[in-house]
Structure 1
């Protein structure tokens, strides 16, 4: 199967997996709590999206050159993904924070007005959606480094 020898694809997936895994020890150092759910979550340090797209672009650049059309496509895709992570998705996370607070305040008001029981299965919006620019930067740097090291090893 040729897909198992696709260097850009493998380096992108490897970068994504490593970035997702790194979120666990980095969060542990900050909070002193192990949170294994970070391995499958969005947002946080480093950006696995940025790591994946930069590893992909770097691998394509190493294989096909910086003047290839494929590199141009992957670089533009990478820029869009990283811009989206620091822009739209990050602000959607801010909106989720505000909406969650409004819901909490509303439920508190309802409890004070009536003696209704609070639902246990209350669904909150996911707040950690996007990335701070520094998280995207380190994700991108990680992706480039992984692609270069992976290229030297393979």
Structure 2
């Protein structure tokens, strides 16, 4: 059996990968519907609605729970990982985005233009974290994908 066949048959892995791309696709479509513009960076970019990180780790944890049971080592590790990723997305990464926004505004002032003009071309990425709603939406995407995998794709 080839490595690609083995990977394709790995329900836990496929649930997580599909959840990531499903969340990114939803993000892309929401951006298009709300602004009317096509932004291909939304297909792979961080931040926004829904959280693809949350979708990925939620599908990973639920997939591990389905495949190995709630008492398994695999479920325990993936559940703890999911909690860490989601907490980080709401806390640290969201604060980083707020700081980036403030620094970008500061760099537009005359002081920065005179002080260090070499910094001006560098614009910090502002959309790096998530709101609790974006994380919750990502969890919903992850759960839905894991359910489809368990009761549809791998039955």
Most deviating of 20-29 and 129-138: 20-29
Distance across 2 between alignment mates of 1:126 and 1:85 = 15
1:68-87 maps to which residues of 2 (within 5 A)? Answer: 68-87=72-91
Aligned partner (choices 30, 35, 38) of residue 34 of structure 1: 38
Partner of 2:145: 146
C-alpha deviation, 1:5, in angstroms:
1.4
Distance across 1 between alignment mates of 2:149 and 2:8 = 14
Distance across 2 between alignment mates of 1:49 and 1:66 = 22
CA RMSD of aligned residues (A): 1.9
Q: Secondary structure at 2:109's aligned position in 1?
A: helix
Instruction: Please identify the structure whose Cα radius of gyration is greater.
Output: 1
1:31-110 maps to which residues of 2 (within 5 A)? Answer: 31-106=35-110, 110=114
Distance across 1 between alignment mates of 2:71 and 2:10 = 20
C-alpha deviation, 1:107, in angstroms:
6.0
Aligned length: 147
Q: Check the 8 A contact 2:107/2:113 in 1, yes or no.
A: no
Q: Secondary structure at 2:94's aligned position in 1?
A: helix
- Return the TM-score normalized by structure 2: 0.88
C-alpha deviation, 1:33, in angstroms:
1.6
Distance across 2 between alignment mates of 1:53 and 1:109 = 42
The gaps in structure 2 that reach 5 residues or longer are none
Q: Check the 8 A contact 2:93/2:129 in 1, yes or no.
A: yes
C-alpha deviation, 1:106, in angstroms:
3.5
Partner of 1:114: none
Give every structure 1 segment of 4 or more consecutive aligned residues whose post-TM-superposition deviation is greater than 4 Å: none
